[in-house]
Structure 1
């Protein structure tokens, strides 16, 4: 059984969307503002890291900090959200490092 921690987020709090931008193919960090807090999800507004457009969406607590390096290596887009700016920067750096490695592999293949 999975237990969920009660959401301690507040309206107007900043969370971070980290993703591989579809146009630039580089990872970037964008800020999202919390509009509404639920038991297991946040409704947020901000610039989407993958598409680079203003958007509103739902972030689920179960997906927080779910950075999966294998997905970065095997797909064109991957995103993760976090409430920690330092973690967001770390995830973006890791994504960009993996993208560089993937590019090197494709050049040698």
Structure 2
């Protein structure tokens, strides 16, 4: 139950049925403290972990200073992502090499 912006009964079993990004955000808030969490998520076309962290002014200023570079990259690369298209077959590399590649993009 949500009351005044806080989640009560966090230790209880939670069930969630959502669609789109709101569901992902709510799940990430409930998940860490729930005793058990069952999620029924309809058609998650694109969902990434939030990787939440405390923001400090120094880090925020560093990120803001990169905006012009990032805006330029989104115009030059496929789909607006800041990396180039890779034509290799995913399974042509070892699992370790794939993991390294995907982490470098993230």
TM-score (norm. length: structure 2): 0.23
Higher relative contact order (Cα pairs below 8 Å, separated by 6+ residues): 1
Q: Which has the higher helix share?
A: 2
